[in-house]
Amino acid sequence: MICRLNCFSGNTIGVEEYISYSEIDYTGTWHRYLEIRADGKTLRYSASHLQDHWGMLPDGVWIESEATKPHCGVNLPISKELFESAWSSARCVNELG
């Protein structure tokens, strides 16, 4: 698995600002995805929670050369430990009762 941190602050493609943490396998398939939006909403997606009215686990294949283009903000590799820390500590609106 590879883990990535993506910051869509300063993107030039018209996407609202957010930060995301992704866990992606070596075929480019997302396994877990955490998104923190500028309005404070935090969303978590995985195989056990694929989608809801706020969003979804990204589908398709992650391609580094596309994801790291300058107009998409900043996309960096992170450690598994940092991903797990963010994943386990996030309080997500799409999981609250």
Give me the residue spans of the domains in the chain: 2-95
In this structure, of 8-12, 42-46, 64-68, 86-90, the range with the lowest mean pLDDT score is 8-12
Q: List helix spans (H) across 1-97.
A: 64-67, 80-89
| pLDDT tens digits along 11-59 | 666 678 889 999 999 999 999 999 999 899 999 999 999 999 999 999 8
What is the DSSP pairing of strand 18-24 with strand 2-7?
antiparallel
Find, among 89, 23, 32, the residue nearest to 57 by Cα. Answer: 32
pLDDT, one tens digit per residue, over 46-63 is 999 999 999 999 988 888
